A and B are shown apart, each in its own frame.
Chain A
Amino acid sequence: MFGYTKRPLLLIAWKNLKTYPVRIFLTTSSIILGVSVIIAANIFSESNKNAFDNLFSGVFEGIDLVVQPVQEDFAQGFGDDGGQGPISFELKKISDKKINEIKSIDGVKDAWGDVIGFAQFIKFGPRKDCHSFNPECNRETILIQNGFAPTFGAAWDTSPYATQWELIDGNPPTNKQEVVMDSTTAEGNGFLVGDRVTVLAGAIPASFTIVGIAEFANTGSPGGASFALFDFNTAQILLDSVGEVDFINVVVDENADINIVRNAISNIDNQGLEVINAQEAAAEQADSIKQGLDFFNTILNVFAGIAIFVGAFIIQNTFRILLLQRTKELSLLRALGTSKRQVYRLVVSESLYMAIIGSGLGVALGIGLSIVVKEGLKYFDFGLPEGPLVLTPNAAITGIIIGVVVTILSSLLPARKASQVSPLEAIRDSQSTPKRRSLFIRLLIGSLVSLIGLTILFGVLYSFFRTPSLTVLQQVGLGASIIFIGISVITPSITKPFVTIFDKLYKSFFGILGKLATENSKRTPRRTASTASALMIGLTLISLANVLTTSFKAQAEKVVKEVVLADYQVSAAQIFASPGIPTGLSQELIELDEVTDLSRTRATVVGYNNRPLILGAVDKAVFDLIKTDDIAGSREDFYSKDAIGVLKFKAESDDIALNDKVTLTIPEVGKKEFVVRYIFDWTTQPPAEFFLLLDNHEFFSNESLDTELYFNVVTKDEATKNKLDDIIDHYPGVTLRDQDALIDEANSQIQLLLNVIYGFLSISIFVALFGITNTLSLSVYERTREIGLMRAIGTLRKQIRNMVFIESSIISIFGAILGTGLGIFFAWSLIQALEDQGFTEFVVSTQQTIIWIGIAIFAGIIAAIIPAIRASRQNILEAISYE
């Protein structure tokens, strides 16, 4: 008996795939990559969320109620991580006497106070900029920070119910010379129990003995933050909380009613204290951080979207290619009586199998990719909180569904085309001739779409057309996207003219091979164009990023040069890490003979109209050291005791005029009235919105930290610099920069961002490469006879390979030039749109542009290696025999 299959098409589809593993690989490669980016993006953000969840649930583990002080209204907008950063948030604290009061309440099992603030470990290592064989090289102080995670100091909780921290080695701290270190920091920096370590807490670094190493909720430390844990009294002194605590943790008896206890505690001080449910608070805090992370997630998903978009182009192309190669096989099926519909279903079921295989592999690759990305970011000190990688079933399913749907949709058009092969095709050798008419229609539609995009874009730039409810930037973005779509539609129609421009050049460079290559890419303009488009997307984004960064760099340089008139600036080194510049430094500098003018800048948060506002304080010299513009009033008036200076933008937004009175709520002083004597413009990023003269106000002159220092020197030379360095070296975390260093600094930050973006965008180029390989493979396959003939009449293998390489270079030049052009144009539009915010510089780096076009061409040639070798190895006799 003969076997009978109920579903012959599914079987044929499966057999087809099993017979051609390479075919599966070519088609699925882009699905795999696209899905893997989605998965990696998801794993990445889920893992970060998870790390923060652990952090917050860990913080309140075993605790029922948390008692915290009621903050001034205006301070709440800043969240409750007070004490961080150069601007000191003067948050209210709770008197530690309250702890015993709470303990004595019925139903309270235990209560203990927590003190938390800024502290950072310091280690010593060779300077980054010096080589080990240089004896002059000093050992530099290195501030320890785990990636971008914050650094904390806190009190070691002695209550038996405090279970967050658990010693894994050593003992708890008992006196002011001892500290316990979190295990992430200890492991990362090679510290052991018994080692001495310097800790920067408050303003003065001091030396401690590590008596223990502790783990937080079974991970090294919460979210990778570094923790220096002191005994309670030491923590109060170092973390600026003498006689006070930041909050009080309460554990309630099992059989007591938590709400009754809560009310009882509230009654101690209804005005000053707030009692919250610890578990609810944990969830709330985790949520707010997660929302912040969603931004990062969005960026990753945009990259994933790009990869999938490019992938869809390529899948469609590959299907077309594979089906063309199988025209004979399909027409044979047709001749044997398979209906069009069945052929269509055959092809679609093949794509279904591929989609499933590809998406599955994509998930696997995505896991690998996320590990690589995580490690990569860590390597560049771009670390996010520590924690295990998390792949949620939802993410995996979403990735697979997107992969499958995109693949199947991309296969529909080629499948329809394949189903229309005539049963006679098997015996005929047909040559496809491009349809001119539809290319013309394409040109029309594409131009129309581009025109709409251009109108939207230029409409906002030259203010003749505004789309309602969009910001300037959004409208530019919308216009740019529409232009991009328009250009993508046009590309097939402009392939021929574009390649024709290169005809002469290629012919004179590569002779007849150049001519053959250009003719070949003109022969199938659609295919050439869609292959080039995949590359175009990547290059558009890369050159956009590129031009924006060179322009931003130029902008930064211009601003620094125009605005910083001082010889030197001193600032706290790291954004999260440092509390500011200890005021001792400005004292030492002023006493130096070499230092002439010096201005300190301080800042604090105050309340104004019930909203938080940054109040700054400066010295008179600031006006000679930083460029400011007078708007109204005079500097002399500003120097009087009741005077306040207001920045132009603040004066405009809040309708403040000269001689108006403003009332500020200052935590240390209470309500205080000032008269607006001076309205001015601070031409760089201002450190505050309102300004006072520093020496006029005690609450400012008593501050222990400066935000920034600016000063001039008598002669700016090596000797002076060395003297300055000697002083500054005693202040860890403080950096001295001159104008050039400031420019370098700004540039390197921009560059770091660019490098991360490049990393992601390279993936899209990588995907595009598969497209080029596929297209050229088809191109070579279709020209079996031609290539055979050329070999027969004496074309060397090397020449055949070169011909394929030249053809590939045409595709990549086409994609690269279109992409680069669009990217530069979009960058220009964005900068125009940012003009209001002071952006004036538009700089295209010719060198960078050429390098990237070069990379694209090089990548195109790499992608052509396999088809080129295949072409050159083609059997001559098979090609020329005619039977």
Chain B
Amino acid sequence: MEKIIEAKNLTKIYGEDGTSVTALNQVNLDFYENKFTAIMGQSGSGKSTLLHCLAGLDKVTSGSIIVKGLDLGKLNDKELTKIRRDSFGFVFQAFNLIPTLTAEENITLPSSIAGRKPDEEWINQIVNAVDIGDRLNHRPNELSGGQQQRVAAARAMATKPEVIFADEPSGNLDSKSSKELLTFMKSVVTELNQTIVMVTHDPYAASFAERVIMLKDGEVANDMEEPTQEEIISKVTSLSDI
């Protein structure tokens, strides 16, 4: 299995000396190709910060992030933006779609801004998989919350990125939509050979992943391969007890 992201001694401190918050503290992690990884932890444990740093949306205070041999810390805004556009896909908790564009235009947006023709066949494949074929010409406000998130997921993988980052993608969904989305994400990894790094605080969502990393106060508290939902819940409770 090939290593796709390598994070070394990641430290992220917010704010000035007096009121500073250490969101990440000396985190060392490797992420592998074709794997569904979940990052878990309580609110404020640094999950989102970690995701933002890994995805080149935020700068680390110290340490390095190597993506396929490139050190993100050494890139300027333009280079980082191009990496996000060409190598990463994103699904956020909300506000994932541009309201003035149709579902289809949203899905092809990353290729459009790169000035590339989207891969029709590949897009058909994912559109079918997320089951929004009949809603392609609708605008986001005409779609349900679940549909919106599935369109976002389709967009995230439309350019066949190296990694898809998702921050609480099912956080706003009811349990049925949530299950549909997560099932889709899992199938994307197993069947379409994609790589996903997902932040969640929900053990149920995390149970879809092949690897679960637990954060506590900005440090890695646990790193589990193929845990069951019960194992996750017990770890979560034991961590919060301390």
The interface of chain A, by Cβ under 8 A from chain B, is: 431, 511-513, 515-516, 519-520, 523, 785-786, 789-797, 799, 876-877, 880-882
Contacts and interface: CB of A to CB of B under 8 A. Distances in A.
Category for how many chain B residues contact A: 20 to 34
Given A511-B115, A882-B93, A786 B99 contact: yes
Interface string B100-116: 11000100011011110
B52 interface: yes
B35 to A, nearest CB: 22
B113 A790 contact: yes
Interface string B48-90: 1000100001100000000000000000011001101110111
B112 A512 contact: yes
Contacts of B82: 794, 796
Given A516-B98, A795-B85, A797-B77, A511 B58 contact: no
Interface string B27-45: 0000000000000000000
A516 B101 CA distance: 7
Given A515-B105, A877-B57, A793 B95 contact: no
B94 interface: yes
B176 to A, nearest CB: 22
Contacts of B78: 796-797
A132 B222 CA distance: 89
B81 A791 contact: yes
Nearest to A881: B48
Given A511-B112, A515-B105, A792 B90 contact: yes
Contacts of B52: 877
B92 interface: yes
A790 B93 CA distance: 15
Contacts of B85: 793-795
In terms of DSSP, what is the predominant structure of the interface of chain A?
A: helix
Interface of B: 48, 52, 57-58, 77-78, 81-82, 84-86, 88-90, 92-96, 98-101, 105, 109-110, 112-115, 155
B46 to A, nearest CB: 14
Contacts of B89: 793
B48 A515 contact: no
Contact of B57 (A512, A513, A792): A792
Given A511-B115, A877-B52, A882-B93, A793 B110 contact: yes
Contacts, number: 75
A358 B95 CA distance: 40
Contacts of A880: 57, 92, 95
Given A519-B100, A519-B101, A794-B114, A512 B109 contact: yes
A795 B113 contact: yes
A882 B84 contact: no
A750 B96 CA distance: 59
A431 B90 CA distance: 24
A797 B81 contact: yes
Contacts of A876: 57
A794 B84 contact: yes
A519 B98 CA distance: 11
A431 B58 CA distance: 28
Contacts of B94: 882
Q: Nearest 7 CB-CB pairs, A to B?
A: A794-B85, A519-B100, A512-B112, A794-B84, A785-B95, A882-B93, A795-B113
Nearest to A872: B77
9 contacts: A516-B100, A793-B84, A793-B109, A793-B155, A794-B84, A797-B81, A877-B52, A877-B57, A882-B95
Nearest to B87: A794
Q: Which of A523, A792, A881 has the most CB of B within 10 A?
A: A792
Contacts of B88: 794
Contacts of A882: 92-95
A17 B202 CA distance: 46
Contact of A799 (B58, B84, B113): B113
Question: Chain A CB within 10 Å — which of B77, B85, B113, B114 has the most?
Answer: B113
A511 B98 CA distance: 15
A794 B77 CA distance: 10
Given A793-B113, A794-B85, A794-B110, 19 more contacts: A515-B105, A516-B101, A785-B95, A786-B95, A790-B98, A793-B85, A793-B110, A793-B155, A794-B86, A795-B81, A795-B85, A796-B81, A796-B82, A796-B113, A797-B77, A799-B113, A880-B92, A880-B95, A882-B95
Contact of A789 (B58, B86, B95, B100): B95
Contacts of B81: 791, 794-797
Contacts of B84: 792-794
Nearest to A794: B85
A881 B100 CA distance: 21
A770 B192 CA distance: 52
A325 B58 CA distance: 26
A789 B92 contact: yes
Contacts of B113: 511-513, 790, 793-796, 799
A118 B70 CA distance: 88
A876 B167 CA distance: 14
